[in-house]
Amino acid sequence: MDAVDRQLIQALRENGRASYAELGRLVGLSGPSVTDRINRLEQAGVITGYRATVAPAALGLGVTALVGLQLSDAADHEDVAGRLRDLDEIEDCWFIAGDDSYMLKVRVGDVDGLEHTIRRLSGTKGVARTRTTIVLSTKWENRVGALPEEV
């Protein structure tokens, strides 16, 4: 991956709807050259997808919480991860080091919805306990930081 690839990736992270012509102007290449580079980055697994960023509250998801899960000693981590995937309220799931095994970002409509989700999580096979932190406000999210020079 060279400097042009990094520029293309950064531009797509900032605006995933940029046309190949726009990207080409930005990096000084033709549209077809940009298309080839982006296809190569997709095939290599560097670019893994494109998505729309939406306002959760506009979708009725006014409560965000971070939920840590501590697993039982006999729990199968992959089995638990598979079960967690079935809960639509979980937006992000990270396997982490520390007291908890998983950290989840959960979005629900209200506190009753959060209580329901926590009960479901607590009843999940392999989960020993949960620890929940409710987000009061979001200062920023999905931040597009600069890429390191060497990737």
Domain ranges of the chain: 3-43, 56-134
Residue 87: is its pLDDT beyond 90?
A: yes
* pLDDT grade for 1, boundaries at 50, 70 and 90: confident
- The pTM assigned to this predicted structure is 0.83
Over range 91-119, report the average pLDDT.
97
Asked if the model's pLDDT at residue 56 lies above 60, the reply is: yes
> What does the pLDDT average to over 65-78?
96
Class of domain 56-134: alpha beta
Residue 26 has pLDDT above 80, yes or no: yes
Q: Which residue has the higher pLDDT, 88 or 145?
A: 88
CATH number 1.10.10.10 is the correct assignment for the domain at 3-43: yes
Q: Is residue 128 over pLDDT 70?
A: yes
Residue 146: per-residue pLDDT? 75
Asked if the domains at 3-43 and 56-134 fall in one CATH topology, the answer is: no
Closest CA to 34 of 75, 10, 57, 5: 5
Say if residue 151's pLDDT is above 60. no
